[in-house]
Structure 1
């Protein structure tokens, strides 16, 4: 069995764990926010006291981040660290800012944030740093802020690699449609820029249209269906963000489309779509590494240790063969 197959099974377990956690969190006062407080067990009177308390803030509540949370929980248990995990139901800058403000007021020992808007979050990131709270970013960066480190991939290079994947499938010619997520989210800007630059410089592939869903699944579905209707002869589709990727699976199922479809990010839903042929390939950013790196980096920073400015997790291309055990059976 391949490593990717093992990871897919692990993701399914993660999904179950997170479904239970989100049920616990459903009692939050803000109905637009998922919040899972104090995910590690509270110490008893005789137990060793928790060393640190860290916050993790996602851009939205989505199954894509379940594996990140699970890895963070497993790493936090090693340190007896408590986690506060928050995310808006849908991408919402104001809610991310409020979440940061709340964690600053709680005087947590460190914060990891996946910024919706790299520029708009600078003041509150810097406020946390000035208050003595280490802040790191992951997946999407805010390099102009005083954040201490970034965990993730070089998103521009990831975009270039996606362009190469499209180039190989279409053999340098053809027409594609593209959907991305949040206009001001830096990682998605860089992925799109890298892909478009590669396609323009290295191929004769025409990008017919690029649409933005702004973090809304409803908008993503509407925009994708509109592009398909407007360009019925397209050869392929690229999802720059995970919401567009999830939406494309639904559309390919509903319409029975036989076109190339590629996306960024891995999760059980994407693995299943690769197995079933709704997706051609996915470009993973090795998301399973983020949770561990987040806790380790915040532990070092909170302990006064020097941390690297950037922790690169790279990318991995995932296709049908990577999520299915294609080895012959004993009878063959």
Structure 2
């Protein structure tokens, strides 16, 4: 057997480094934007407060690299209008677009067309997985649903009645509901689902649906809601009915935060929005600057972007009455440029 020595290993490493030095990618001085290099964040329902911390994180990351940013999208909950806004963004020839696709499949062709035109695209919070998007940044919706189910059972027992509101068609909201239902069926078979209504982020629709569910099910113990808009209407209906129903929802708005502080909503599971925007920018920026990276794989012959990140978990926070002040959007935005 050949004798092994550390000196021999060091020599091998030195030779290898010498051989590679002429071919390896060098990132020195390259990770910065050129003058005017711009990245766009595109959303639907652009006035929703959820986007505010996300865009702040997006801008903070961009500033570190000397890049320009634009907030874009449509004020409407309308897939056709969001795609139109995305296409308008493409005309501006940005280096990249971070998009929250309202629906997955309608965005496949626009995303692929943008990438074919030299614009890198990543998704956040909701995905278009069959597109060629470079990355997907989100909280773990399965983990959120599991946490919600376990907390509901912890609070009201494992042989109680519960209901869900939902927003069919938006991938992250769908998963938050279907995963909770599956987890309940598998782990808490004595829990009884007595109401399931589509409210589509409409607080008025949620008010009507919740009032109907509560009236029909006087033993209702809890309700899970995959977003905050519907939670605003649900809590109003439950308070009006003077019903003892535990409310949990995902995301947060200033209105639901006040209800958490008042003890009317048990808790909210909120994606780490600032991290979502910050890492969203990093993913799209690196996809646009992938030439600085030479990984040990077949990207040169297969032709794919070596900076593809199939999934990145930005984590989620549990908002309760005890820590609600940390999620005050007005306090967070003091002294910050909203644009």
Deviation at 1:73, TM superposition (A): 2.4
Say which of 167, 184, 209 aligns to 2:169.
184
What stretches of structure 1 of length at least 5 have no aligned partner?
1-47, 326-332
The partner residue of 1:170 within 153, 156, 163 is 156
CA shift, 1:50, in A, is 3.9
CA distance in 2, matches of 1:130, 1:324: 45
Listed one character per residue, the Cα deviations across residues 235-255 of structure 1 (whole Å, up to 9, x for unaligned) are 111111222123234334544
Partner in structure 2 of residue 58 of structure 1: 43
Superposed, 1:189-228 pairs within 5 Å as 189-203=174-188, 204-228=190-214
Classify the secondary structure of the residue corresponding to 1:208. strand
User: Any conservation in 1 of the 2:197–2:209 contact (CA below 8 Å)?
Assistant: yes
Q: Quote the offset at 1:170 in angstroms.
A: 1.6
Separation (CA, whole Å) in 2 of partners of 1:250 and 1:56: 33
The answer as to whether partners of 1:246 and 1:269 remain within 8 angstroms in 2 is: yes
Asked if the contact 1:51–1:79 (Cα under 8 Å) also holds between the matched residues in 2, the reply is no
Quote the offset at 1:158 in angstroms: 2.1
Instruction: Please name the residue that 1:264 is paired with.
Output: 250
1:90–1:215 contact (8 Å) kept in structure 2: no
Partner of 1:110: 96
Change (3 A) 1:176 1:148: same
TM-fit CA distance, 1:95:
0.9
Q: Structure 2 CA distance, aligned partners of 1:161 and 1:57?
A: 29
Q: Secondary structure at the match of 2:169?
A: coil
Number of positions where the alignment pairs a residue of Structure 1 with one of Structure 2: 277
Quote how far apart the aligned CAs of 1:261 are: 0.5
Residue pairs, 1:1-332, within 5 angstroms: 50-61=35-46, 62-181=48-167, 183-203=168-188, 204-304=190-290, 305=292, 306-323=307-324
Runs of at least 5 residues in structure 2 that lack an aligned partner in the other structure: 1-32, 293-306, 327-339
Q: CA deviation at 1:271?
A: 2.9
Deviation for aligned residue 1:151: 0.4
TM-align CA RMSD: 2.2
Pick closer, same or farther for the CA change 1:88–1:246 going to 2, 3 Å: farther
Report SS of the residue matched to 2:154: helix
Per-residue displacement from partner, 1:12-44 (whole Å, max 9, x unpaired)?
xxxxxxxxxxxxxxxxxxxxxxxxxxxxxxxxx
2-side partners of 1:64 and 1:253: how far apart? 25
Compared CA separation, residues 249 and 139, structure 1 to 2 (3 A): same
TM-score relative to the length of structure 2? 0.75
SS at the partner of 1:150? strand
Matches of 1:225 and 1:81, distance apart in 2: 49
Q: 1:133 to 1:49 in 2, by over 3 A?
A: closer
User: Structure 2 vs 1, CA of residues 86 and 255 (structure 1 numbering), >3 Å: closer, same or farther?
Assistant: farther
